Structure 1
Amino acid sequence: MAHSAKGVPRLAALDVGQAARVLSEVRSATLSGRRAPVPPRPVIEASWGRVRRGGLDPDHDVRAAPLSPGEIERRRRDSPLRHVLPVLREGLLSVANVAQHIMVVADADGRVLWREGSPSVLRRADGLGFEPGADWGEGVVGTNGVGTPAVTRRPVQVFASEHFVRSHTSWTCTGAPITDPRDGRLIGVVDVSGPLETMHPATLAWVNAVAKLAEARLRELHLTALDRLRAMAAPPLARLGGRALAVDKDGWTAAMTGMPYVARVALPESLAPGRCLLPTLGPCTVEPLPGGWLIRAADTPEPERATRVALDVAHPRRWSVTVSGDTGSWSHELSPRHAELLCLLALHRTGRSAADLAADLFGDPARAVTVRAEMSRVRRYLGAFLEHRPYRFCDAAEVDLLLPRNPDDLLPHSVAPGVVRARSTSQSRAAATPKSGVR
């Protein structure tokens, strides 16, 4: 029997039935605390650990109440995933039907919004509660091809007894996350599932490739929307003096005048017409435009900046930074990479060089150029509170780092060596005390 470097059987090297038997032994031994014949794959072992800490019983199929038909329709209308359904269907459904699979599209909460494919497999899925409106988050139904990719932020194939809940072990699921190209935010997961005998190792690469095509389509739609906003904003910008720009609802710049180009402006979560304070721009006047905002920067000096920076990485899938002070506050949702960078800087208040951060993120100090590029993007919305040489939060910033209760749940998607070290020791909690300057 062929094995991977970690000892897990290579499923391509043995028949499906034999693989299922091996994994059944691995699951039974691991969950009962005995030594398994081979260890589970790291992504599966990590998922089982999260699920067990959450109190899920592997021998009981517990299901959350499905959404009402009205709520399903509302989520479908509000989800950006509706724009890429044609891409997903074209890339997955024809093969899925032949291979006795179904395609499932879920939102960022793990709620199934669309489900199509082989009628016979759809009926089998009904028996598992794998239906529109169902909650297939990892914390609800255990390790699976919808909830686990949402947590790890990478494609995952869950075969047979790699599922945590026993009733799912006759199933194989392969899911890939779909992120919003504008900000890296998770918007959902596309999954191809079916009976375990239909498993094929190439399914993982196939599903991930189609998910990337969907993200490319979202990027095209965003650029088209910016073009429309640019045409709309051109006449008022031509009449204005001073610094002004037109941005979409997420702060991406469509056009500007009287100032150097910036790709994006960090906007408050709730922006309204009138006067406001924006990071990097200072006092501004905001007016609505179809599809965005017209922002006029005031010529008066910027008021005293906020001094408290709250970095929230307590949630397993959503992370944010909030800056507040006497002049107000604003928040910015973080991409997975920026959450890693800022968390590492919060844990190392004395600073990290570009090479240090490259080692922390990639295990390779030579990738300093990549780190500098990412830090330049971070500085677009947080530059007033960051120093460089080395990279660090400025001394005037009072940094609060909000961590999960269990260190193992810190940025669970991340495989960055610096984050892995923080999880495996108590350093992250020690660094979150006032003594270290991080709360």
Structure 2
Amino acid sequence: MQRDDLHDRRVRAVRAWTRFVAQGDDEDDAVRPEILSSWQLSGVVSPDVTHAPLADEGDTADFWNASPLQTAVERVQDELRRTAEDGDLVIAVTDDQTRILWTYGGRVMRRKAETVNFVPGGRWDERSVGTNALAIAGRTAAPSMVFSAEHYAEVVHNWVCWAAPVFDPVTGRSLGVIDLSTTWDRTHPIGLATARVMARLIEGALPTDRRTPFAGDVGPDEPGLVLTLLGTAEVWFDGQRLLLNRRQTEILALLALHPSGLSVEHLHALLYGDAAVTTSTLKAEVSHLRTALSGQLSSRPYRLTMPVTSDVEEVQRLLRRGDVRRAVRAYGGDLLPGTESPALVQMGDYLAVSVREALLNDPDPDAVLRYSELAPYDTAVVEACLAAIPVHHPVAPLLKGKLASAR
């Protein structure tokens, strides 16, 4: 396109955006329907937002390392990088929640991208940063282009973006999107076609030796939500593993512990305590979860609307029945180790003390041996068991060895 034509198009886009933001005019014929629909969804964020929110760096890296997208991108990264450098583009690959997992940019666009958190961990869904091609392509599962002031956030009005969804050929599931972005004056008709080609390139490079979107994941058979929260964190929904960040897993844990639901204020207090975190950050996390759970997370109050089971619930149930051996077998360790949620820290302490006290009252040798692997320095439980069992009990030498190594 000629620069004058692009400039005229940009002016029209800015005028339409201004009318929508300032006057709420949502009947402008100059605005494409998919853009207008996205603007309406973007009303939860300010058009003055200066950058995308960032997800936890460690969670993003863990997700990327476990995703088949990483293998695919590594296999075709030379071509992706060549495309970025030749066109002075920044290329991004996201997960299915529009969180950026990988980027590569030409010299100019890389610097521009960094200023708005168009980097790994950046959240580019509409509820986080407003209308953009990544968000539309991810939500609609169709290629998308967003030009200049068609973006809801004014900070990226100088950009043009083309995005296409990436599907898993094995399952048909959307894995995320690939996006190509540059400055508005470099708009080219071939941009969207290039994004489609890049998406097909990644799909063709995905590893084929897997039965699910994440290699080796074989989920529980029961429907609904299954949470493993003790020792390690795993979330399964209708038999499929969800790779969530720490905060999202913590939110699910809190909602599972409060089946009647929580107000946004109560959930915020349980999750963040006195930390200076806005409720809009919490709402964004809940929005991601609602999408991942196919809408089965209600509002006012926040409540899970599908069957939920967890190892926390199972341990408590077995302790109430007095089945200490099975309770310890179900107890995988600390509740979400490293969590800073005051409510989850408190529940973790409560559960750890409950298991320990149950063992002191009923020091089943097999249960104590298992427990000593989880709490190797808790000598009191091992000593109580040795005092209660015969000297020649087959587990006694193992427990004595545990005791010696702990001292």
Evaluate the alpha carbon distance shift between residue 175 and residue 35 of structure 1 in structure 2; reply closer, same or farther with a 3 A threshold.
closer
Which amino acid letter does the alignment assign opposite residue 18 of structure 1? D
Residue by residue over 1:128-186, the C-alpha shift from the partner in whole angstroms, topping out at 9 and shown as x without a partner, is 22122221122100011222211111111111001001111111111111122233322
The Cα of 1:62 is off from its aligned counterpart by 5.7
Q: Does 1:138 align with 2:129?
A: no
Which amino acid letter does the alignment assign opposite residue 58 of structure 1? P
Evaluate the alpha carbon distance shift between residue 165 and residue 174 of structure 1 in structure 2; reply closer, same or farther with a 3 A threshold.
same
* Match runs of 1:402-421 below 5 Å: none
Evaluate the alpha carbon distance shift between residue 158 and residue 175 of structure 1 in structure 2; reply closer, same or farther with a 3 A threshold.
same
The Cα of 1:89 is off from its aligned counterpart by 2.5
Evaluate the alpha carbon distance shift between residue 162 and residue 139 of structure 1 in structure 2; reply closer, same or farther with a 3 A threshold.
same
8 Å contact 2:51–2:116 — kept in the other structure? no
Q: What's the counterpart of residue 67 of structure 1?
A: 56
8 Å contact 1:88–1:210 — kept in the other structure? no
- Bigger proportion of residues as strand: 1
The Cα of 1:320 is off from its aligned counterpart by 8.7
Which amino acid letter does the alignment assign opposite residue 135 of structure 2? G
Q: What's the counterpart of residue 233 of structure 1?
A: none
8 Å contact 1:60–1:165 — kept in the other structure? yes
Distance, in Å, in 1 between the alignment partners of 2:180 and 2:13 is 20
Alignment gaps of 5+ in structure 2 = 228-288, 297-306, 309-407
8 Å contact 1:25–1:36 — kept in the other structure? no
Which amino acid letter does the alignment assign opposite residue 51 of structure 1? S
Q: Does 1:94 align with 2:85?
A: no
The Cα of 1:117 is off from its aligned counterpart by 2.0
Residue by residue over 1:229-271, the C-alpha shift from the partner in whole angstroms, topping out at 9 and shown as x without a partner, is xxxxxxxxxxxxxxxxxxx8569xxxxxxxxxxxxxx886769
The Cα of 1:47 is off from its aligned counterpart by 0.7
Q: What's the counterpart of residue 43 of structure 1?
A: 34
The Cα of 1:110 is off from its aligned counterpart by 2.0
Q: What's the counterpart of residue 313 of structure 2?
A: none
Distance, in Å, in 2 between the alignment partners of 1:35 and 1:73 is 39
Residue by residue over 1:54-109, the C-alpha shift from the partner in whole angstroms, topping out at 9 and shown as x without a partner, is x22213336424422x3332122111211210355344321221211111112122
* Match runs of 1:299-310 below 5 Å: none
Q: What's the counterpart of residue 270 of structure 2?
A: none
Segment drifting more, 170-179 vs 86-95: 86-95
8 Å contact 2:3–2:185 — kept in the other structure? no
SS in structure 2 of the partner of residue 146 of structure 1: helix
- Structure with higher RCO (Cα < 8 A, 6+ apart): 2
Distance, in Å, in 2 between the alignment partners of 1:66 and 1:149 is 20
Distance, in Å, in 2 between the alignment partners of 1:25 and 1:320 is 35
Evaluate the alpha carbon distance shift between residue 25 and residue 132 of structure 1 in structure 2; reply closer, same or farther with a 3 A threshold.
same
SS in structure 1 of the partner of residue 138 of structure 2: helix
The Cα of 1:123 is off from its aligned counterpart by 0.8
8 Å contact 1:25–1:37 — kept in the other structure? no
Q: What's the counterpart of residue 170 of structure 1?
A: 158
Q: What's the counterpart of residue 118 of structure 1?
A: 106
How much is the aligned-residue C-alpha RMSD, in angstroms? Answer: 3.5
Q: What's the counterpart of residue 15 of structure 2?
A: 25
Q: Does 1:319 align with 2:294?
A: yes
8 Å contact 1:151–1:316 — kept in the other structure? no
8 Å contact 1:88–1:211 — kept in the other structure? no
Distance, in Å, in 2 between the alignment partners of 1:33 and 1:137 is 21
SS in structure 2 of the partner of residue 207 of structure 1: helix
Evaluate the alpha carbon distance shift between residue 75 and residue 201 of structure 1 in structure 2; reply closer, same or farther with a 3 A threshold.
same
The Cα of 1:118 is off from its aligned counterpart by 0.6
The Cα of 1:127 is off from its aligned counterpart by 1.4
Q: Does 1:76 align with 2:64?
A: yes
8 Å contact 2:88–2:109 — kept in the other structure? yes
Which amino acid letter does the alignment assign opposite residue 64 of structure 1? P
8 Å contact 2:130–2:153 — kept in the other structure? yes
**TM-score normalized by the length of structure 1:** 0.47
Q: What's the counterpart of residue 47 of structure 2?
A: 58
The Cα of 1:211 is off from its aligned counterpart by 0.6
Which amino acid letter does the alignment assign opposite residue 204 of structure 2? A
Q: Aligned pairs, how many?
A: 235
The Cα of 1:35 is off from its aligned counterpart by 7.4
Distance, in Å, in 2 between the alignment partners of 1:193 and 1:71 is 25
SS in structure 2 of the partner of residue 15 of structure 1: helix
Q: What's the counterpart of residue 206 of structure 1?
A: 194
Q: What's the counterpart of residue 373 of structure 1?
A: none
Distance, in Å, in 1 between the alignment partners of 2:217 and 2:120 is 30
- Bigger proportion of residues as helix: 2
Q: What's the counterpart of residue 161 of structure 1?
A: 149
8 Å contact 1:104–1:190 — kept in the other structure? yes
8 Å contact 1:138–1:146 — kept in the other structure? no
Evaluate the alpha carbon distance shift between residue 14 and residue 204 of structure 1 in structure 2; reply closer, same or farther with a 3 A threshold.
farther
Radius of gyration: which is bigger? Answer: 2
Residue by residue over 1:292-342, the C-alpha shift from the partner in whole angstroms, topping out at 9 and shown as x without a partner, is xxxxxxxxxxxxxxxxxxxxxx94465399xxxxxxx89xxxxxxxxxxxx
8 Å contact 1:87–1:210 — kept in the other structure? no
8 Å contact 1:155–1:175 — kept in the other structure? yes
Evaluate the alpha carbon distance shift between residue 35 and residue 86 of structure 1 in structure 2; reply closer, same or farther with a 3 A threshold.
closer
The Cα of 1:192 is off from its aligned counterpart by 0.8
Evaluate the alpha carbon distance shift between residue 36 and residue 109 of structure 1 in structure 2; reply closer, same or farther with a 3 A threshold.
closer
Percentage identity across aligned positions? Answer: 27
Which amino acid letter does the alignment assign opposite residue 30 of structure 1? F
